[in-house]
Amino acid sequence: MEIAVGEMLHSRSEHTGKPDPLVGVVLVDRYGKELARAHRGSFGHGDHAEFTIFEKLTSDEDPVGGTLYVTLEPCAKRERPKKPCAQRIIEKGIKRVVIGMKDPNPEIYGRGVDLLQKHNVKVDYFDEDLKEEIKNINKEFSDFMNEQKKEKKMHPQKIEAPSLEELRSVPEADLKDLSYDAIRKYLKLLKLKYSVPSSKLWDYFLKTKFVVNRQNRKVPTLAGIVLFAKNPEVFLPEHRITAEHFTGTPEDGVSLERISQDGRLDIKGPLLQMVEMAERFYKDKVGRVPRLRNFKRVERDYEYPIEVIREAIINALIHRDYAVGAHVSFRIFRDRIIVKSPGHLLFPNTIERIRSFDVTPARRNQRLADAAFNMKRMEREGYGIPMMPIRLREYGLRPPDFKYDGGYFSVIFYGREKSSPAFGIQPEIREQLTSRQIDIINLAFEQKKVTSQEIRNKFKITRETANQDFTKLLGLGLLVRKGTGRATYYVLGRLRENDDSLA
């Protein structure tokens, strides 16, 4: 800890118009041996100390299972293509991080700790006397950040207000247009005991804004139609899902002739029924593959986790803009699944924030979102999207991507064909690998093969270091050697327990 504090004093500032924090870091391996020490700006102005120690000082070392002592909480958010320091720590396999002080920057405070703990990294703190010394040395930076927080309180960036569209009455509809079966299912999931139909039920629906009084009669609102109408598309033509299964990839085209036999379905009905129909369409069209579950081999499971597909579908229905006359699109391709819903992202969320899984709960349709959550059909607000990469990794798949284009928000899930097998490496094996060795696997996946010369040039390492990497990967069966002499190259081995054959 004292070494990290001493190193902190050598930090170099990046900006001239505002103070930067002084940061020192020390990396210790799993046996207690110091691997390196660094400070902010050790080699270049603005370089974070964690970046320096991992990428410039110990790129040839194996820090898995080690401890990182850092005077300031690691950042959990950086503008692309830069990677947050907390993410680097997780990828390097560090098991314990000891922190001097939390970052007073309101956009970081506590988030770095949360991210580390969420990935089972143990977080401890410096001794009290050292914590006070670090705070005193960084007082100028802390005071500046506190002023920034005060300024934001005086001029707050408000979360965009919910839409009132879901509360508008649908006067051409009647209570008789509601499905009693859908209502009973809703009441059962919420453990509510109302007779269907009954005056007490309608009084409850008045309170929840599923119906309103209009000219001496009860009329369903848009929310009531979406949740319970027998045929909601009669009143809301835009409330439907167009589900399509294509034989190829998006690059092959999305014309009708590329849709598989019986590969198109117009999904309509009460909301829960639509979600269930979309799930059945998914299960019918997506193949089963061998995989692991809880480290035990199971015979076969769907290529993508059903919970992630369900979350994307229900999010598309719940958070879409019902003032826009367009439907939800659910497209299944050979190598990916795309779910598109109409409507812009609600402030303060941006596509950049969503891609970093930094989601601020913002509801366009509050009543629909409450109903879906209460029925346990979607994750708690703000948790659905951040949970997606965790579940996908369990299936050996890469994190999802997100796009906003032409008034549509899209979620893209990539299958095995588009996911490096490195995502499917068993955790106990992954812990033995450095980030560079994982990058070598990814390169072999992208190029189909790699050579020692390519690796030395790309990562700027010596022949001896490259040989050590290849020996490790060959020994674990992650790569296979082909050819001899100067013609030697390496291809992927069996990276997943659920792979049926070697590359």
Report the run of H or E that residue 443 belongs to, with start and end.
helix 435-447
Contact 54, 455 (CB under 8 A): no
Tokens of 268: 């309509």
Q: How many CA atoms lie within 13 A of 419 on its CB side?
A: 29
Residue that is written with structure tokens 């790129």 in the block: 59
Phi, psi of 301 (to 5 degrees): -145, 165
CA distance 20 to 45: 11
Do the Cβ atoms of 450 and 420 come closer than 8 Å?
no
CA atoms 15, 21, 22, 23: torsion sign: negative
Nearest to 222 by CA among 310, 313, 343, 318: 318
DSSP 56: I
**Is 55 assigned a catalytic role?**
no
Q: Rounded distance, CA 210 to CA 223, Å?
A: 6
Tell me the C-alpha distance between 420 and 442, whole Å. Answer: 6
From 2, 7, 14, 50, active-site residue: 50
What gap in Å lies between CA 462 and CA 471, rounded to an integer? 14
Q: Which of 272, 243, 403 is nearest to 333 (CA)?
A: 243
Residues in Cβ contact with 9 at an 8 Å cutoff, skipping those fewer than 6 apart: 22, 24, 39, 137
Residues 393 and 391: their CA atoms lie apart, in Å, by 5
User: Are 55 and 25 contacting, i.e. CB atoms less than 8 angstroms apart?
Assistant: no
d(CA 198, CA 188): 16
| Amino acid found at 327 | H
Token pair belonging to 302: 């769907």
> Can you tell me the distance from the alpha carbon of 286 to that of 282, in angstroms, rounded to the nearest whole number?
6
Residues classed as catalytic: 50
